[in-house]
């Protein structure tokens, strides 16, 4: 594994994303040299992930999500319908 300075230098911000679900995983990514952690699917299912992650011991629910859960997280019907194409993401 490259050290950040060897790969891009200190003047380039590094954003890491992919497979980060829990606050502990985000902390681990930062500890490995990332400047920022990007949230994808975890944030889709948990619009308040940054707020909730501040609570000790909080772990997000993982997919499949119910349509109601996604609606409660402020997702629109068109996006929910699109996500139904994602394997194991929306529970029918």
- Extents of the domains making up the chain: 1-59, 62-92
pLDDT above 70 for 3: no
Res 7: pLDDT:
72
Q: Estimate to the nearest angstrom the gap between the alpha carbon of 89 and the chain centroid.
A: 14
pTM higher than 0.95: no
81, pLDDT greater than 60: yes
The answer to whether the beta carbons of residues 81 and 89 sit under 8 Å apart is no
Q: Tell me the CA distances in angstroms from 80 to 7, 46, 85, one per residue in order.
A: 38, 14, 9
- Looking up tokens 């194991």 gives 88
Lowest mean pLDDT among 3-7, 17-21, 66-70: 3-7
């Amino acid at each position: 594994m490259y050290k950040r300075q060897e790969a891009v230098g200190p003047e380039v911000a590094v954003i890491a994303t992919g497979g980060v679900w829990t606050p502990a995983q985000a902390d681990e990514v930062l500890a490995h040299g990332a400047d920022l952690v990007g949230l994808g699917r975890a944030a889709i299912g948990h619009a308040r992930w940054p707020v909730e992650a501040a609570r000790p011991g909080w772990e997000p629910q993982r997919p499949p999500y119910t349509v109601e859960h996604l609606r409660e997280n402020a997702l629109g019907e068109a996006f929910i319908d699109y996500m139904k194409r994602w394997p194991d993401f929306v529970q029918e």
